[in-house]
Chain A
Amino acid sequence: MQPIIEFKDVSFSYPNAEQPALKNLSLQIQKGDWVAVIGHNGSGKSTFAKLINYLLIPTSGSITVDGIPVDQEHVYDIRDLVGMVFQNPDNQFVGATVADDVAFGLENRQVPREKMLEIVPDALERVQMNAYAAREPARLSGGQKQRVAIASVLAVEPKVLILDEATSMLDPKGRREMIALVHELKQELGAELTVLSITHDIDEAASADEVVILNDGELMGVDKPEVIFSDAERLRRLGLAVPFAEQLKAKLKARGIKVPETYQTTEGMAEWIWQLHSKM
């Protein structure tokens, strides 16, 4: 099957930078997957994301999305395919009101007004923001603004949704709600939507189909989350947080207790401890 995103030997340097931000990156992302991208600060995650929809232009190498080359000629086709939600809720809210913001992408694509009047409430319905259609951004919480950002992206029906630390400025509740929302949408759209989520949130990354690790502009590996997160040693070496469950496992192991080999979520670990407890 044709990968939805393909990087072939892509390098990128910012102007005046000594080090390239990405070095010889080759990678394929399969259609319908939920892919988490992790890496320490400055490892090149945002650069990677921006290359996908031609916000940045590779210094060398080539990128395709759904078989279409990412270049000047196809830039607007690519942007129809790839929707992006950024970190700062305020700095991506273009419209004067919620409805206007959702309409922005449609206006750019010259969708007739009658169509917009149907699409906008639909998109807001999907993120449960219908009641706020006439609100200005100043009267919304960060989480609500991010949900509007998702609605704005969904309104143009992209095949790839990129979340660049989209939850990192939200409080824990807002973050959980937003992740749940994206999961829901993903379930609804199934293989029609590929999600690429850049995140520092280990639990979010752990629920992905695949995890991509970047380190100083280089690809360190693509693997299943249970493989990546059970290698505490490597995570530490790459400057990444080790999930709580793994820290616990390491401590238990040091005390000579036999622990599960595979990756466990915090809940999974709690479950395991209960079972262990009842056996004792």
Chain B
Amino acid sequence: MSNMILGRYLPGVSWVHRLDARTKFILSMLFIFVIFMANNIYGYLFATAFVALSIIMTGLGFKVFFNGLKPLAMLMLITTFLQLFFMNTGTVLVHWWIFTITTDGVINSVIVFVRFMLIIMFTTILTLTTPPLEVADAMESLMSPLRKIGVPVSELALMVSIALRFVPTLMDEAQSIMNAQRARGVAFNEGGLIQRAKSYVPLLIPLFVNAIKRAIELGDAMEARGYRDGEHRTKFRVLKYTKIDGVAFAAFFIFAIGLFATRFI
């Protein structure tokens, strides 16, 4: 379950791991826009090569990246499948009742599929090579201009970091409650959908009650340690741009120009 929520950070010592989380975050976002510049086969080949090279540089191997696609496979297939019917131009391949599949439709769905793959693969680099906490720090840092319009950025960041910190604690607790309930004869993951949903009630109620109790105690502990508000605090953990971040930005810039150039081939 935690894999889905947080991505799966895999520690390493590659250049990509050492990049500032903000760099990876910004480049991931930019990639989503830049990829739309590709409009022919060369463009997509070029982009695929770039993503492949980036993945190789993480030193993690391709397998973990394909595994990362699995939870989204269904979504990708449905989107691609629907694309088949959206285009009515080109030669008709199949025509049945109100459904028409044309060559353009096929080409378009292939393009959507590839684009989807590339975006997921590239953004997965961020989550696989960056500890969740650093991602949160990066978001805080990038969102800090919003402070001017009254968004409590530091409070939000502290909330996210505390939430991340409690994920393993609550998972452990859920596990032990489940074991305790199993010992009392509750069967999880058995029977129909409603039956299953029902079997989770005796898990969720104590989990919520305890979570609230924890929150109250944590609040006391934070106050006892002098917490007043989010804005007037110094920061112990800081992010730092280094030379390799410059290199990464430059490389991405070159990639973007190259991709733009492929439009004229």
* A contacts, CB < 8 Å to B: 50, 53, 55, 76, 79-80, 82-84, 86, 88, 90-96, 99-100, 103-113, 116, 120, 136-138, 152-153, 156
Contact = CB atoms under 8 A, between A and B. Distances in A.
A53 B224 CA distance: 7
A110 B233 contact: yes
Contacts of A109: 226
Interface residues of B, number: 28
A243 to B, nearest CB: 30
Pick the most buried of A83, A109, A120: most chain B CB atoms within 10 A of its CB: A109
A76 B165 contact: no
A111 B234 contact: yes
B164 A96 contact: yes
B234 A107 contact: yes
Contacts of A106: 234, 236
B234 A90 contact: no
24 contacts: A53-B224, A76-B226, A76-B228, A79-B223, A79-B224, A79-B226, A82-B224, A84-B221, A88-B214, A91-B214, A94-B165, A94-B225, A95-B165, A96-B133, A96-B164, A99-B236, A105-B225, A105-B226, A107-B236, A108-B226, A110-B232, A116-B234, A116-B236, A137-B168
Interface in B194-225: 213-214, 217-218, 220-225
Contacts of A107: 233-236
Given A111-B234, A113-B234, A116-B236, A90 B225 contact: no
B245 to A, nearest CB: 20
Q: What DSSP secondary structure best describes chain A's contact surface?
A: helix
B243 interface: no
B225 A91 contact: no
Going nearest first, the 8 A-B pairs with the smallest beta carbon separation are: A103-B236, A92-B221, A138-B168, A91-B217, A108-B226, A105-B225, A84-B224, A107-B233
A113 B224 CA distance: 21
A137 B217 CA distance: 16
A91 B162 CA distance: 11
Contacts of A94: 162, 165, 218, 221-222, 225
Q: What DSSP secondary structure best describes chain B's contact surface?
A: helix
Contacts of A156: 225-226
Contacts of A112: 234
A150 B27 CA distance: 41
A207 to B, nearest CB: 25
Contact of B225 (A100, A104, A111): A104
Contacts of A79: 223-226
B169 interface: yes
A110 B168 CA distance: 29
B237 interface: yes
A107 B237 CA distance: 10
Contact of A55 (B162, B168, B220): B220
A8 to B, nearest CB: 22
B99 interface: no
B197 to A, nearest CB: 29
Contact of A86 (B169, B213, B221): B221
Contacts of B236: 99-100, 103, 106-107, 113, 116, 120
B227 interface: yes
